C-alpha cells in the first residue's frame, strides 16, 4: 500500500462585490423580455374611453386586460364578466362591456329591467340614475355569441343597438384598474 498525502487546500476566492456590467445588462434584458411577454401574451394595458361603463369604469381610467384567460380556454366567458372586444361594426375599434347573456340564454328588457331566461337580473352595478326605461323584445343568444350591455345604460351603445358579440371578437377580460391611483384595484 502506498501512502498518499492529502492535496493541499486551495484558499477560497473572496466574493466580488459591486456592480458587474455584464450581469446588470443580462438582468435588464431578461426583465425587458419578461415585460414584453406579459404585455403581448397575458396582460395588456388599455385606456377606457367614454362613459358607458360608469360608475365602475370612468373615462380615461387605465386598466389591465387579461388576454390569456379566454384565449387559451382556461376560463369560460361568464355572465357579469367585463370583456374587451373588437366592435362588430368596426373591428378597428375596441369596446368594453358587461356580459349579460351567454350562448343559449334568452335576454329581454322591460322598462330598463333586464331578464335572462325569464328571471330578473339584480344589477347592483347599475345605479338608478344610470338606468333608462327602454324595452327590448326577447332575443336568443346564439352559439359562440354574447349579449353585452354597458353599465351606464342611458349612454351606452351595446347589444341592444348592434346585436350580439361573436366569441372570436372577444380578446380579453378587464381585471385591474391601475390609474388613477385612488382607484387602484380589481375591476368589479
- Residues with catalytic annotation? 52, 97
CA angle in degrees (0–180, nearest 5) for 98-75-164: 40
Q: CB of 149 within 8 A of CB of 100?
A: yes
Cell matching residue 142? 346564439
Q: Which residue has the cell 443580462?
A: 26
User: Which of 99, 105, 108 minimizes the C-alpha distance to 170?
Assistant: 99
Q: CB of 83 within 8 A of CB of 96?
A: yes
Alpha-carbon distance of 64 to 177, in angstroms, equals 6
- Burial-class residue 155 by CB neighbours within 10 Å (0-12, 13-18, 19+): middle
Query: Is the CA virtual torsion 151, 149, 166, 93 positive or negative?
Result: negative
Amino acid at each position: 500500500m502506498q501512502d498518499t498525502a492529502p492535496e493541499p487546500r486551495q484558499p477560497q476566492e473572496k466574493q466580488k462585490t459591486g456592480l458587474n456590467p455584464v450581469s446588470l445588462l443580462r438582468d435588464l434584458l431578461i426583465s425587458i423580455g419578461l415585460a414584453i411577454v406579459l404585455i403581448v401574451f397575458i396582460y395588456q394595458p388599455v385606456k377606457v374611453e367614454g362613459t358607458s361603463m360608469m360608475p365602475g369604469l370612468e373615462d380615461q381610467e387605465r386598466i389591465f386586460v387579461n388576454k390569456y384567460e379566454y384565449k387559451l380556454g382556461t376560463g369560460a366567458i361568464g355572465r357579469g364578466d367585463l370583456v374587451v372586444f373588437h366592435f362588430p361594426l368596426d373591428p378597428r375599434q375596441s369596446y368594453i362591456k358587461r356580459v349579460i347573456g351567454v350562448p343559449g340564454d334568452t335576454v329581454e328588457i322591460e322598462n330598463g329591467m333586464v331578464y335572462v331566461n325569464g328571471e330578473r337580473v339584480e344589477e347592483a352595478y347599475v345605479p338608478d340614475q344610470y338606468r333608462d326605461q327602454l324595452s327590448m323584445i326577447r332575443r336568443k343568444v346564439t352559439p359562440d355569441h354574447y349579449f353585452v350591455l354597458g353599465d351606464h345604460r342611458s349612454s351606452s351603445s351595446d347589444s341592444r343597438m348592434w346585436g350580439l358579440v361573436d366569441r372570436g371578437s372577444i380578446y380579453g377580460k378587464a381585471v385591474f384598474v391601475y390609474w388613477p391611483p385612488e382607484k387602484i384595484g380589481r375591476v368589479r
